[in-house]
Amino acid sequence: MVRLITHNLLACHVKGCTSNNFPLEFKDVQLVPHESWGILRYRTKLPRCLDDDFLKTLHHVLLEIHVEEGIMICPNCKHNYPISNGIPNMLLAEHEIG
């Protein structure tokens, strides 16, 4: 599952690609709503004053939607990380290893 909250942790790790390597751009994605509850308040350190409706929407966007198929593209070096079956392929070619 590539939930959007996880996508938010990913940066490009190709050799020499150190600036402007985040966030990876999505392309050709297939989204799937996904049910899970938990970490929102903790991970994002939201101010307590936000109302419940907003939190629910945010929770839905960050944790219940995940990408099943698609590609993530580095905005800097344009390396493509394909996602298949919900698992992103983060492998690099020999010349890209730092």
Partner 1 sequence: MATSRPKKYTKNTRNQQIQADMTYRALELLNLPPDEPAFLLDIGCGSGLSGEILDEEGYIWAGVDIAPSMLEVALEREVEGDLFLQDIGQGFGFRPGSFDGAISISVLQWLLNAETSHPTSSPPHRLSRFFTTLHSSLRNPSRAVFQFYPSSDDQIQLITSIAQKAGFGGGIVVDYPNSKKAKKVFLCLYVGGGGGAQQLPEGLDGEEAVEDGGKARFERRREREKTKNGKRKSIKDKDWILKKKELYRKRGKEGVPNDSKFTGPQAEASVLIYFMDLFLFNSSILHSEEVPATGDCVFRLIADEMALQRSHADPLPVLHFFCYNVL
Q: Which of 10, 55, 58, 73 binds partner 1 (CB under 8 A)?
A: 10
Instruction: Tell me which residue of 2, 73, 56 sits closest to 32, measured CA to CA.
Output: 2
Backbone angles phi and psi of 51, in degrees to 5: -80, 165
Query: Is residue 91 at the binding interface for partner 1, with CB under 8 A as the rule?
Result: yes
Residue 85 near residue 78 (C-beta atoms within 8 A)? no
Q: How far is the CB of 43 from partner 1 (least distance, A)?
A: 7
Query: Is residue 13 at the binding interface for partner 1, with CB under 8 A as the rule?
Result: yes
Q: Which stretch binds partner 1 (CB under 8 A): 10-18, 44-52, 53-61?
A: 10-18
Q: Which of 19, 28, 42, 52 binds partner 1 (CB under 8 A)?
A: 42
Query: Is residue 38 at the binding interface for partner 1, with CB under 8 A as the rule?
Result: yes
Cα–Cα distance measured from residue 80 to residue 76, given in angstroms and rounded to the nearest whole number: 11
Query: Is residue 9 at the binding interface for partner 1, with CB under 8 A as the rule?
Result: yes
Cβ neighbours for 32, distance < 8 A, ≥ 6 positions apart: 65, 66, 67, 68, 86
